[in-house]
Structures are given as structure tokens and as C-alpha cells.
Amino acid sequence: MLSIEHFYWLMALFLLYAGWRNLRDRRFAHAAFWGLLAALFAAGKPILDASKAGHALPSQLAGVAVIALALLATRMRREHIDEAPEAQRLASAQRLGHRLFWPALLIPLVTVAIVLFGPKLAIGGAPVFGEGSITLIGLALACVLATFAAVLVTRERPVVALGEGRRLLDTMGWAALLPLVLATLGGVFAASGVGEAVASLVSAVIPADNRLACVLAYGLGMVVFTMIMGNAFAAFPVMTAGIGLPLLIQQHGAAPAILGSLGMLTGYCGTLMTPMAANFNLVPAALLELDDPNAVIRAQLPTAIPLLLVNLVLMYWLAFR
């Protein structure tokens, strides 16, 4: 039975490899950062089980580890990591052509296939996929299969995939954790009652009985919160708990699936416009060695603003049909 835990352990092994490579290169802050993160991935379920059983120490240790990661992040510096010569990379790209995209296209295709058909698969009466979100399991399995596909397409040794993965991870540095951390931040905000506070504030400012005003408050709120927190995953639980659920779904009868999907997509418009989304907007500028650190954001603005307007129109038109 395949569960999400198996992929957490696989991720822990890869992070350990990245830590070991950095240790060999005497990049001690990077080595400690990835090694500590590997320990958290590997020990996630034992920590959760111990916390449920009433043992507070494991969860406290996890909290100390998170604080240590934040301190180590201040010591991590982006440095050039050796890669294949440019002429060799260019020759490989010309030889492979569009076949380079095949492994990447496998990821969404396999993920969707597992989400649709995975729950029905069984061997000897036992389900193939076990505990955990079927979407996350499908995405993780798709990434593993895409890695093998990339090795077959490029005819490189598997160790090259590990080396290039480690190089990309170190190039991004601590910013690679931003989606995970910001999504967790959104959950913390929702659990601490920020959503209810937002609902009270919005109700006092806008006419709650006006459907259009609520749609604008929800959509624009998703954009603003995303720009502040850097990720739509962090904004979504707050804005949905504060405006989407009580005002649009319960009071005005909006379809939850349509509202939620368009709400997330609207939030991503904010991701395109904020430097807080460092892994999306600042890291690519650094990787491309652009003179303007905000060049990626400037290039995305002509897409983000019209897409925001289209999303608001679609939300008002489709969510209440």
C-alpha cells in the first residue's frame, strides 16, 4: 500500500544527500539546514503520533527545529555551483529538442490519472493507495516517474538527476520552503480567528447583502492577502473563512467548488505581483542574473491585471448559476 509517508521518507533521503554534498563542499550552514529538514520529513509521523498520545516533547523538538531552520537561513548564501559547460548543455538541448518537455508533461497527466482512477485500484482486495491525500500521493508519484522518464530521455546516469536536483535546491536555498511555510501560516491564521475578524471588518465596511460587493471583497481580498503573505495558499483559508463561506456561500448561495477554484486562481494574480513570493519572482531573477530584481514582476503585470478582472467576472457569473 502506497501512502504519502513513503514519499516523505524519499524526500528525506534526497535532503540528506543534499546536506552531505554541502558538507563535502564545506558549506556548513546549507548542510545543517537540509539535514535538519530531512529529519523533520522523516520523523513527521512519529512526532504527530506522539503528540496525539499526549507526549509534548516531540512536538516541542519540532518547534525548536523550525526555529533553528530560520536561524540557519540567515547564514545561507547563494553561490555559484558548478554545472555542465554551456556548450555541452546547448548541444544536448539541440539533440533532444522538444523531447525535453515529455518528463515535465508526465507530472500533470499522471497526477490527474491517479486522482481520477487511483481510489478504484486494488491488488488482492487491498487498495493500492493508502492514507493521505490522493492528490498529493499522485503528484509525488508523478514526480518520481518523471525523474525516471528524464533519465531515459536524456540517457544520463541516475546520479546526474540527484546532482542537478541538489544544485537547483541549493540555488533556491531557503526560499524553496516558502510555499510550505506560507500555507502553514494561512492555517495558523484561520485557527487563531483571523477569518472571523476579517468577516466582522468586511461586514462593517461593505453592504453584506450586496452580492457584487461581496464578490469584489473576496476576490480583491485574496489578491491583497496573497501579496502580503506571498502565497495564495496562505490567503485562501483566511479569506474563505472570513468572506467566502459566511457571506458568499451561506448567505448568497454561491457554489463552493466554483468559488473556491476561482478564488485560488484570483489569489495567484497577487502572486504574480509581489516580491514576497520570493521563490516565484525573486529567485528566477537571480537565476537569470537580471539587473532588475523586480524584472519578473514587471513582465507578469500585463498578465496578472487582466486575469484578475476576468476572474472577478467569472466568479460573479458562474458561482451563482
What's the pLDDT score for residue 195? 64
Q: Are residues 81 and 228 in the same domain?
A: no
Q: Are residues 157 and 226 in the same domain?
A: no
Do 165 and 204 reside in the same domain of the chain? Answer: no
User: Are 54 and 184 members of one domain?
Assistant: no
Whether the per-residue pLDDT at 57 is higher than 60: the answer is no
Range with the poorest average pLDDT among 207-221, 286-300, 301-315? 286-300
Q: How far is the first Cα of the chain from the last one, in angstroms, to the nearest whole number?
A: 41
- For the chain, give the percent of residues with pLDDT over 70: 90
C-alpha cell read off for 299: 513582465
* pLDDT tens per residue across span 77-134: 776 677 767 777 788 778 878 888 888 899 999 999 998 888 888 777 777 787 767 8
**Count of structural domains, the chain:** 2
Are residues 292 and 189 located together in one domain of the fold? yes
- Which residue range is the domain that position 50 belongs to? 4-174
Compare 20 and 197 and report the one with higher pLDDT: 20
- The pLDDT score that the predictor gives to residue 199 is 67
C-alpha cell at 226: 496573497
Q: Which of 174, 189, 218 finishes a domain?
A: 174
Most confident of 4-8, 174-178, 205-209: 4-8
pLDDT confidence of 46, banded at 50, 70, 90?
low
Query: Which of residues 125, 154, 174 is at a domain's end?
Result: 174
* pLDDT beyond 80 at 55: no
CB contact at 8 A, 3 and 44: no
Single residue among 174, 199, 225 that ends a domain in this structure: 174
Q: In the predicted model, is pLDDT for residue 52 greater than 70? A: no
Predicted confidence band at 50 (pLDDT cuts at 50, 70, 90)?
Answer: low
Q: Say if residue 180's pLDDT is above 90.
A: no
Same domain? 161 vs 137: yes
pLDDT band at 318 (very low <50, low <70, confident <90, very high): very high
pLDDT band at 20 (very low <50, low <70, confident <90, very high): very high
Burial class (CB in 10 A: 0-12, 13-18, 19+), 43: middle
Least confident of 7-11, 44-48, 271-275: 44-48
Does residue 155 share a domain with residue 17?
A: yes
Mean pLDDT is lowest, of 1-10, 99-108, 213-222, 284-293, for 284-293
Note the pLDDT tens digit of each residue in 226-253: 888 777 887 888 888 888 888 899 989 9
Residues 166, 187 share a domain: no
How many Cβ atoms are within 10 Å of 267's Cβ, its own excluded? 27
* Confidence category of residue 15, pLDDT binned at 50, 70, 90: very high
Q: Is there a single domain that holds both residue 23 and residue 47? A: yes
* 156 and 222 inside one domain: no
Q: Are residues 170 and 280 part of one domain?
A: no
pLDDT at 273: 92
Distance CA 300, CA 225 (A): 18
CA distance 240 to 90: 47
Average pLDDT, stretch 125-153?
A: 86
Question: Within its chain, how far is the Cα of 94 from the centroid?
Answer: 31
Is residue 36 domain-shared with residue 149, that is, in the same domain? yes
